Amino acid sequence: MVKFNTFSITARCARTGQLGVAVSTKLPAVGMLCPFVKAGTGAIATQSFVNPYIGIRGLEYLSEGMSAKETKEKIMSEEINLEHRQFAIVDKHGNTAAFSGDESDGYYNHFEGDGFVVAGNMLVNEETLTDMKSAFENHSDLDLAERLLQALEAGQAAGGDKRGKQSAALKVFDTEEYPLVDLRVDEHADPVAELSRVYDVAKEELFPFMPMMPTKENPGGRFNPAEYEAE
């Protein structure tokens, strides 16, 4: 069983309706099994002795119209080894719910805020989570992806995972079936800092092209081959 002793933030932007998760841990490829997000539905972080089906089933329940709290209760009623699990849920309305099993290691906890949840286990200290919470609340002027990064950076600066650093991920969905932001640092000596660097590169070289992508309302997108070739 893979154990992601992890710190994460799961959130919805009240201004745009975007949903996302940012997460880091001392294991490789945290973005593979922990963050689950679906546009217009919700966001879930699943960690500790990680069960990806908490994220998979949780999004299914949210898509059926369950609230974050109802989804949490449904997951708890059917989950095996529940006390080894930790998960956070934010639904499309910004309602939150979270669970931290008593068999999570080290310092573990979760805190719910207005449209977001910070959660972690095997942490250096409580400040990892409280500083994440404050950072997210204090940067409400930023886009969701940048707010999530600010929170993750604050958590790492406060202590983070007591075992060290290895991977980090950022996933944000807007209105489409594909992500607005989906960045991962799978193995690095300072993954949160590297994730921020990659985000800055993507902000310059990738994100400006996202408005040209095909959408549900405009299947052809805004791409103009003639303009592209002219450049």
Q: What is the pLDDT of residues 106-115, one digit of tens each?
A: 899 999 999 9
Averaged pLDDT of the chain: 94
**What is the pLDDT at residue 167?**
97
> By C-alpha distance, which of 218, 8, 228, 210 is closest to 108?
8
- Determine the Cα–Cα distance for residues 8 and 49; give it in Å rounded to an integer: 14
Q: Which residue is listed with tokens 């906890």?
A: 109
> By C-alpha distance, which of 76, 42, 39 is closest to 59?
42
The answer, yes or no, to whether residue 228 has pLDDT greater than 80, is no
The answer, yes or no, to whether residue 171 has pLDDT greater than 60, is yes
Pick the CATH number of 3-230 from 1.10.10.350, 3.30.465.10, 3.40.50.460, 3.60.20.10: 3.60.20.10
Burial 169-184 (b: 16+ CB within 10 A, else e): bbbbbbeeeebbbbbb
**What is the pLDDT at residue 230?**
46
Residues 147-168, mean pLDDT to the nearest whole number: 96
Q: What is the pLDDT of residues 172-184, one digit of tens each?
A: 999 999 999 999 9
Q: What is the pLDDT of residues 41-68, one digit of tens each?
A: 999 999 999 999 999 999 999 999 999 9
Other Cβ atoms within 10 Å of 17 Cβ, number: 16
Residues 10-17, mean pLDDT to the nearest whole number: 98
- Determine the Cα–Cα distance for residues 94 and 199; give it in Å rounded to an integer: 25
Q: What is the pLDDT of residues 73-106, one digit of tens each?
A: 999 999 999 999 999 999 999 999 999 999 888 8
Question: What Cα–Cα distance (Å) separates residue 178 from each residue in 40, 78, 158, 173?
Answer: 12, 29, 33, 7
What pTM was computed for the model?
Answer: 0.94
In contact, 83 and 99? CB cutoff 8 Å: no
**What is the pLDDT at residue 231?**
47
Helix, coil or strand: residue 42: strand
- Determine the Cα–Cα distance for residues 58 and 45; give it in Å rounded to an integer: 10
- Torsion from C-alpha of 187, 120, 127, 89, nearest 10 degrees: 110
Using alpha carbons only, give the angle 146, 139, 129 rounded to the nearest 5 degrees. Answer: 85
